[in-house]
């Protein structure tokens, strides 16, 4: 009986969560298309380009809506059980609220895994494809510089790199300035070169000067050609010029190790790394926050109050998670606290409410 009940509740939960996700996604995509349709058509696009725009934007929209869809889906699932007196029958058969919550957890874990794959693999690739397509179809204007003429700033390990122009798909940098730093963040050297060229897996600096700031004479030494031992691929240069909001887990780790260049501070990438781990757990938190709805009776006002409480706390959780993540990315608080504090705190809140209602 337990297996049959688990399949029944899981099916109800998954169907309702999917329905909410589809409805919210369709609404946001419609609003996004209404806002962007004129810009797409101004590029000489047709209805097919509107479809391309919507398709490439879809994963990023879905990724942001999964926790909210799970919250509403779990609330409506439990509310429907209460309205049909199914909760009374389950309680009469000896099913405790904790067992009822446990039957929903396998489906919630499956959604969490899907959320992790979506945010770590699908959404970043779709966003990269969207940025590439958007740049290729962008008409030249006086106000918008071509990609090659945009100034480049990036950080490779402890070195800050600046370049005036990026050519040959990131394989040639012109008017390059390098600022190596020590472990305390102090600049130890200034290197300027007319160009940096990538070939056969290595970078070479051309026609530049090297100034050692650790010495007292501050005398620049000229050079014609000099090797630049750095882990920087031309694809990395292009990616820095067109950064994506969604960053894969392995890419975050590479940036923090210094194997891949980024333009943000280490605190930003460290916070995003922890957010990648903590984000899918929002699905489990949402189910926990919805559990008190199952304690309401059909003819009492407790069900409506529990629904309002679950929605209010769930939205507060999403708000707090976004605010603390922003603080962590700015370096205003440790990345571990910024990413994990909302998850731990609201898990404790949901558990305390469940124990209080059951007690």
- Confidence at residue 45, expressed as pLDDT on a 0 to 100 scale: 66
Task: Give the mean model confidence (pLDDT) for residues 27-40.
Answer: 88
The most confident of the ranges 44-48, 110-114, 200-204 is: 110-114
Residue bearing the bigger pLDDT, 64 or 357? 64
Task: Give the mean model confidence (pLDDT) for residues 272-287.
Answer: 91
- Confidence at residue 26, expressed as pLDDT on a 0 to 100 scale: 94
Q: Do 233 and 225 meet the contact criterion of CB atoms below 8 Å apart?
A: no
- Confidence at residue 102, expressed as pLDDT on a 0 to 100 scale: 82
pLDDT at 287 over 80: yes
Q: Do 126 and 60 meet the contact criterion of CB atoms below 8 Å apart?
A: yes
Helices 47-83 and 302-329 cross at an angle (nearest 10°) of 140
pLDDT at 215 over 80: no
Q: Predicted confidence band at 143 (pLDDT cuts at 50, 70, 90)?
A: very low
pLDDT at 147 over 70: no
- Which helix (DSSP H) or strand (DSSP E) does residue 105 occupy? helix 97-117
The 10 Å Cβ neighbour count of residue 278 is 20
- Confidence at residue 115, expressed as pLDDT on a 0 to 100 scale: 93
- Confidence at residue 358, expressed as pLDDT on a 0 to 100 scale: 66
pLDDT at 18 over 90: yes
Mean pLDDT lowest for which of 99-103, 277-281, 339-343? 99-103
- The residue to which tokens 């049909």 are assigned: 84
- The residue to which tokens 């399949």 are assigned: 7
Kind of pairing between the strands at 152-156 and 189-199: unpaired
- Name the 3-class secondary structure at 260: coil
Average pLDDT across the chain, whole number: 84
- How many residues comprise the chain? 359
> 129: number of CA atoms within 13 Å, CB side?
15
């Amino acid at each position: 009986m337990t297996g049959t009940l688990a399949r029944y509740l899981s099916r109800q939960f998954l169907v309702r969560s999917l329905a909410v996700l589809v409805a919210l996604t369709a609404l946001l995509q419609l609003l996004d298309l209404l806002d962007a349709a004129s810009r797409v058509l101004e590029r000489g696009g047709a209805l097919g380009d509107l479809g391309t725009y919507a398709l490439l934007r879809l994963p990023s929209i879905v990724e942001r809506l999964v926790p909210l869809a799970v919250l509403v889906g779990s609330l409506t699932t439990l509310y429907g059980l209460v309205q049909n007196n199914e909760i009374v029958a389950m309680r009469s058969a000896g099913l405790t609220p904790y067992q009822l919550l446990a039957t929903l957890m396998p489906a919630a874990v499956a959604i969490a895994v899907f959320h992790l794959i979506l945010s770590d693999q699908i959404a970043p690739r779709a966003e990269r494809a969207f940025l590439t397509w958007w740049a290729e179809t962008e008409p030249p204007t006086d106000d918008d510089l071509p990609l090659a003429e945009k100034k480049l700033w990036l950080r490779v390990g402890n070195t800050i790199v600046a370049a005036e122009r990026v050519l040959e798909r990131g394989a040639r940098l012109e008017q390059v300035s390098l600022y190596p730093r020590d472990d305390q963040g102090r600049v130890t050297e200034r290197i300027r070169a007319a160009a940096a060229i990538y070939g056969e897996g290595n970078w070479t600096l051309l026609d530049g000067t090297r100034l050692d700031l650790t010495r007292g004479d501050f005398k620049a030494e000229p050079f014609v050609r000099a090797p630049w031992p750095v882990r920087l691929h031309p694809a990395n240069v292009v990616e820095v010029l067109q950064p994506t909001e969604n960053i894969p887990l392995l890419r975050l780790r590479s940036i923090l190790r210094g194997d891949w260049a980024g333009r943000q501070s280490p605190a930003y990438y460290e916070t995003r790394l922890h957010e990648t781990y903590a984000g899918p757990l929002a699905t489990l938190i949402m189910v926990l926050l919805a559990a008190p709805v199952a304690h309401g009776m059909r003819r009492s006002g407790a069900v409506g109050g529990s629904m309002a409480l679950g929605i209010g706390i769930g939205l507060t959780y999403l708000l707090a998670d976004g605010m603390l993540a922003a603080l962590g990315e700015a370096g205003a608080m440790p990345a571990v606290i910024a990413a994990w504090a909302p998850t731990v705190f609201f898990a404790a809140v949901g558990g305390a409410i469940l124990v209080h209602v059951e007690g």
